Chain A
Amino acid sequence: MTRAPVVVAVLLLAVACQKPVQPGDPLRGLSRAERDRFDRGKVVFDSVFTPETGLGPLFNATGCGECHENPAGGRGDEVEVHATAFHAPVCDPLAQEGGPVIQQHTTPLLKQALGIDQEPFPASATARAMRTSPVIFGRGLLDLVPDSVLLTYADPDDRNHDGVRGRPNRFVDGRIGRFGRKGFVPTLREFNAGAFAAEMSVTNPQQPTEEDVGGKPLPVGVDPAPDPEINQEQLDLTDDFVRFLAPPTPLKVGKDGRRGRDLFSQIGCTTCHIPTLRTGYSPVQTLSNREFAAYTDLLLHDMGPDLADICLGAATPADFRTEPLLDLRGAEHFLHDGRATTLEQAIELHGGEGSGARGRFKALAAADRAALVAFLKSL
């Protein structure tokens, strides 16, 4: 009988002393088999592709780890170029001219054949966008939030008159999207398979055809590797690695940070940056029915004309998906294109539906603004 309190105390102590999750760590609670897939997936993620193993002939990076680095799954310093054409209300992702991702490099064989160093910028584009590489921690959790939950946060007609009109984006087939800066892609699995094809031109069972060059077929002989250039197992392992990357444990905050957290809510940031979301069922126990810190509603919001760039799906040029606030402590650049170098700048660049919260932030006393930023830096 007298042992019970001691056992409870030891267990509580063990939980309290648990090592915090660092950027790049796997989720806690993975089975041995799942942890093995995480480790094997990391090998594919860190692979460097060559033309002989599938790279190119157009590409942005030679491997996933080139952009999501320090550690694997983290952010990189690469900035890529996207383009689409907006003919309101229709968005043309320029699939007939090579798609919205404009690859910045070519393999030697393609350069020799066409004399180009990068994919030609599409003539039909109405806008260009710059995109930094985000951290990809916690994406397995975001993937599992049911669409029905996102729709409960949507308010496209602003029925509550708070000036915020969250709405989901839609993929080309009409399904609700959530991944990417415009929330265009419905699932993590599709995002990963699409990234192999769009970023490295590594064909795979989900996208078995190579991209053409500005709508023209690839010259004969410039793509020596047979399609698909990776198999289903390599794709699945990479997907599991990304899926099992844990969101880092937030740093402990002091009194200022706690006040900053309260202010973050009081001035309305949590209307879009919803602090916690809950996953639905997953056969991976540690991902299933789990509440986690997300700070996003995964919905589109009009962020005003100053941030506007390209359309994508149902997203107009000014619409962006609420960015999940994960691993902000490690960030040196903020917003979708990295134009902000401090969190204060990032907040002050929120326009459109974010302008109310921005105004209230600017109206705070300097100490309160610093407290709010201190909280964000703990994430």
Chain B
Amino acid sequence: MRRTIRTAVLTAILLVPLVISAPADWGTLTSAQPAPSYTYQGTVRAVNARAGTLELITGVGMSLRVVRLKTAPTTRLVAAGASPRLADLKPGDVVRAEYRRTAAGLVADRVEKLEVGAR
């Protein structure tokens, strides 16, 4: 027991200089390091539920582009009063997707199916 306390105290002493010499934003660089979140709002072009991927049509004016998003087990899917599965989304649906850029590509945190008037 005494040995455990001694180890903890020694560790703390060794770590103190490291902590106080760290840059001011060190905390944000480590603990709060989630990648920034971005949003796409567009039309679903294709869904591959097995692969967990989603293709959206976005763009500006007549210049349109396809973006490919991956979903993760933590991705939340939302629709008016419901929690759809990825497979419930279909081409032509309009969605708002919040996503992060990762080394593996764009990963959706949240995908919301929007109700669009008179289509």
Residues on A facing B (Cβ under 8 Å): 89-93, 95-96, 99-101, 154, 156, 167-168, 170, 172-174, 179-180, 184-185, 190-195, 197-198, 206-207, 209, 211, 314
The residue of chain B having its C-beta at the shortest distance from the C-beta of A173 within the complex is: B41
The answer, among A91, A170, A211, for a CB contact under 8 Å with B63, is A211
Which of A90, A174, A197, A209 has the most chain B CB within a 10 Å cutoff?
A174
Q: Which residues of B contact A90 (CB under 8 A)?
A: 91-92
With both chains docked as a complex, state the minimum distance between the C-beta of B3 and any C-beta of chain A, in angstroms: 61
Whether A100 pairs with B64 at a CB distance below 8 angstroms is yes
Q: A170-B116, A170-B119 are in contact. Are A99 and B62 (CB under 8 A)?
A: yes
Instruction: Determine if B78 is an interface residue (Cβ-Cβ < 8 Å).
Output: no
Q: A92-B91, A95-B57, A173-B41 are in contact. Are A168 and B62 (CB under 8 A)?
A: no
With both chains docked as a complex, state the minimum distance between the C-beta of A151 and any C-beta of chain B, in angstroms: 8
The answer, among A89, A172, A192, for a CB contact under 8 Å with B59, is A172
Instruction: Determine if B61 is an interface residue (Cβ-Cβ < 8 Å).
Output: yes
The 0/1 profile, CB within 8 Å of A marked 1, for residues 98-119 of chain B is 0000000000000000101111
With both chains docked as a complex, state the minimum distance between the C-beta of A59 and any C-beta of chain B, in angstroms: 12
Q: Which residues of A contact B118 (CB under 8 A)?
A: 154, 156, 167-168, 314
In angstroms, Cα B63 to Cα A167, docked, is 23
Whether B92 pairs with A89 at a CB distance below 8 angstroms is yes
The answer, among A92, A170, A207, A314, for a CB contact under 8 Å with B60, is A207
Instruction: Determine if B2 is an interface residue (Cβ-Cβ < 8 Å).
Output: no
The residue of chain A having its C-beta at the shortest distance from the C-beta of B64 within the complex is: A95
Whether A92 pairs with B116 at a CB distance below 8 angstroms is no
In angstroms, Cα B86 to Cα A229, docked, is 37
Q: Chain B interface mostly helix, strand, loop or mixed?
A: strand
Instruction: Determine if B79 is an interface residue (Cβ-Cβ < 8 Å).
Output: no
Whether B116 pairs with A209 at a CB distance below 8 angstroms is no
Whether A194 pairs with B59 at a CB distance below 8 angstroms is yes
The residue of chain A having its C-beta at the shortest distance from the C-beta of B40 within the complex is: A173
In angstroms, Cα B63 to Cα A350, docked, is 29
Q: How many residues of B contact A (CB 8 A)?
A: 23
Instruction: Determine if B9 is an interface residue (Cβ-Cβ < 8 Å).
Output: no
Q: Which residues of B contact A92 (CB under 8 A)?
A: 45, 91
Given contacts A172-B43, A179-B61, A207-B61, 6 further A-B contacts (CB under 8 A): A92-B45, A95-B59, A168-B117, A184-B62, A197-B61, A207-B60
Q: Which residues of B contact A193 (CB under 8 A)?
A: 60-61, 63
In angstroms, Cα B59 to Cα A95, docked, is 9
The answer, among A99, A101, A173, for a CB contact under 8 Å with B42, is A173
The answer, among A91, A95, A174, for a CB contact under 8 Å with B65, is A95
Q: Which residues of B contact A101 (CB under 8 A)?
A: 62-63
Q: Which residues of A contact B42 (CB under 8 A)?
A: 172-173
Instruction: Determine if B66 is an interface residue (Cβ-Cβ < 8 Å).
Output: yes
Residues on B facing A (Cβ under 8 Å): 41-43, 45, 55, 57-66, 91-92, 94, 114, 116-119
Q: Which residues of A contact B91 (CB under 8 A)?
A: 90, 92
Q: Which residues of A contact B65 (CB under 8 A)?
A: 95, 99, 209, 211
In angstroms, Cα B55 to Cα A328, docked, is 42
Q: A92-B91, A95-B45, A172-B57 are in contact. Are A194 and B116 (CB under 8 A)?
A: no
In angstroms, Cα B58 to Cα A95, docked, is 9
In angstroms, Cα B91 to Cα A207, docked, is 23
The answer, among B43, B45, B62, for a CB contact under 8 Å with A96, is B45
Q: A93-B57, A172-B57, A173-B41 are in contact. Are A198 and B116 (CB under 8 A)?
A: no
The residue of chain B having its C-beta at the shortest distance from the C-beta of A90 within the complex is: B92
Q: Which residues of B contact A96 (CB under 8 A)?
A: 45, 55, 66
With both chains docked as a complex, state the minimum distance between the C-beta of B39 and any C-beta of chain A, in angstroms: 10
The residue of chain B having its C-beta at the shortest distance from the C-beta of A204 within the complex is: B60
Q: A96-B45, A170-B119 are in contact. Are A192 and B94 (CB under 8 A)?
A: no
Q: Which residues of B contact A211 (CB under 8 A)?
A: 63, 65
The answer, among B41, B45, B62, B117, for a CB contact under 8 Å with A194, is B62
The residue of chain B having its C-beta at the shortest distance from the C-beta of A186 within the complex is: B61
